[in-house]
Structure 1
Amino acid sequence: MEAVLDWLFSSKEEEQHIITSMAYFMMFMAFCSFVTLTLLKENVPYGRYASSKYGFPVNVKFAWFVQELPAILVPFLLVVSSSATKVFMMPNQLIIAMYFCHYIQRSLIYPFLIRGGKPTPFVSFALAFVFCMYNGYMQVRYLSHFAVYPASWVTHPLFLIGFLMWLFGWLINMHSDHILRNLRKPGETGYQIPKGGMFEYVSGANFLGEIIEWAGFALASQSAQSLAFSIFTTVVLTSRAFSHHNWYLEKFEDYPKNRKALIPFLL
Structure 2
Amino acid sequence: MRLSLKKRNGKFIDAVELRDDCTVDEFKELFYKKFHYYPERQWWTVGEAKGVALKAGGLLSSYGVHDGSTLVFKDLGVQISWRLVFVLEYLGPLLIFPLFYCCPSLIYGVAAPPPKCLVQKVAFWLTMFHYVKRELETLFVHRFSSSTMPIINVPINCGHYWMLFGVMVGYFLFHPKYQPMWRDDQPILIYSLAATMTVFELLNFKTHLILRGLRARGTRQRGIPSGWGFDLVSCANYLWETLGWITFSILVSSLTSWIFTVVGFAKMTEWALKKQRNYLAEFKDYPRHRRAIIPFIL
TM exceeding 0.5:
yes
Query: Larger relative contact order (C-alpha < 8 A, sep ≥ 6)?
Result: 1
2:120 paired with 1:96: no
Q: CA RMSD in A?
A: 2.5
Tell me the equivalent position of 2:172.
142
**Alignment equivalent of 1:70, drawn from 92, 97, 106:** 92
Tell me the equivalent position of 1:132.
161
SS in 2 for 1:66: helix
Counterpart residue type for residue 247 of structure 1: N
2:246 paired with 1:218: no
**Alignment equivalent of 1:151, drawn from 184, 189, 197:** 184
User: How many angstroms apart in 2 are the aligned matches of 1:183 and 1:217?
Assistant: 30
Counterpart residue type for residue 91 of structure 1: V
Structure number with greater Rg is: 2
2:266 paired with 1:235: yes
TM-score (norm 1): 0.71
The percent identity for this pair of structures is 24
Runs of 4 or more off by more than 6 Å in structure 1? none
Tell me the equivalent position of 2:238.
207
User: How many angstroms apart in 2 are the aligned matches of 1:87 and 1:178?
Assistant: 39
Give CA-to-partner distance per residue, 1:107-148, whole Å, 9 cap, x none: 3x1221133541233344321212222120222222222422
2:212 paired with 1:181: yes
Tell me the equivalent position of 2:224.
193
User: How many angstroms apart in 2 are the aligned matches of 1:193 and 1:121?
Assistant: 29
Query: Residue 164 and residue 265 in structure 1: after superposition, are their counterparts in 2 closer, same or farther (change >3 A)?
Result: farther
SS in 2 for 1:259: coil
Q: What residue ranges of structure 1 are gaps of 5+ in the alignment?
A: 1-51
SS in 1 for 2:230: helix
User: Between Structure 1 and Structure 2, which shows a larger proportion of helix residues?
Assistant: 1
Tell me the equivalent position of 1:44.
none
User: How many angstroms apart in 2 are the aligned matches of 1:137 and 1:69?
Assistant: 13
Q: What is the aligned length?
A: 213
Counterpart residue type for residue 297 of structure 2: L
Deviates more, 1:252-261 or 1:214-223: 252-261
TM-score (norm 2): 0.64
User: How many angstroms apart in 2 are the aligned matches of 1:64 and 1:145?
Assistant: 28
Q: Offset of 1:106 from its aligned partner?
A: 1.2
Q: Offset of 1:104 from its aligned partner?
A: 1.4
Q: What residue ranges of structure 2 are gaps of 5+ in the alignment?
A: 1-73, 108-112
